[in-house]
């Protein structure tokens, strides 16, 4: 059973600040997905990273997959209140028939 950790668990920042959240595991992943869940809604897929060392950008969000494919990070530049939500990582490996989610990072961006 892989151990999956997301950090920090909670993060509260002011609008305009930069931040990074992390997803770490003891296992190697074939790929990893990041989701954002806004209050009162279901998670929404942001990105899938597949190759070790891969970097993907989505506007102000930068996703990186670790070289060893055991960890990933999400960096947000100039955070906005609309970025508020629960950020979940979901690695793929082992059973390819279900997504197992981390416990998430709850981000609050204050105006």
Partner 1 sequence: DTAVSQTPKYLVTQMGNDKSIKCEQNLGHDTMYWYKQDSKKFLKIMFSYNNKELIINETVPNRFSPKSPDKAHLNLHINSLELGDSAVYFCASSRDRSTNYGYTFGSGTRLTVV
Q: Does 86 bind partner 1 (CB under 8 A)?
A: yes
Closest CA to 50 of 70, 69, 73, 77: 69
Taking CB under 8 A as the binding criterion, the range among 16-24, 42-50, 54-62, 69-77 that sits at the site for partner 1 is: 42-50
CB 85 within 8 A of CB 101: no
Could you say which of 44, 55, 68, 78 contacts partner 1 (CB under 8 A)?
44
Please compute Rg for the chain using Cα positions: 13
Q: Does 100 bind partner 1 (CB under 8 A)?
A: yes
103: left (phi over 0), alpha (psi -120 to 50) or beta: alpha
Q: Does 27 bind partner 1 (CB under 8 A)?
A: no
Q: What is the binding site for partner 1 (CB under 8 A)?
A: 31, 33, 35, 37, 40-45, 48, 86, 88, 90, 92, 96-101, 103-104, 106
């Amino acid at each position: 059973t892989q151990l999956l950790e997301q950090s920090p668990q909670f993060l509260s920042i002011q609008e305009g600040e930069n931040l990074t959240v992390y997803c770490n595991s003891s296992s190697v992943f074939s790929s990893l997905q990041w989701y954002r869940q806004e209050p009162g809604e279901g998670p929404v897929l942001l990105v899938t990273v597949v190759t070790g060392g891969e970097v993907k950008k989505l506007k102000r969000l930068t996703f990186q997959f670790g070289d060893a494919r055991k960890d990933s990070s999400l960096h947000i530049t100039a955070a906005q209140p609309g970025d508020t939500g629960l950020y979940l990582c979901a690695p793929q490996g082992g059973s390819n028939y279900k997504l197992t989610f981390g416990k998430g990072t709850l981000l609050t961006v204050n105006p």
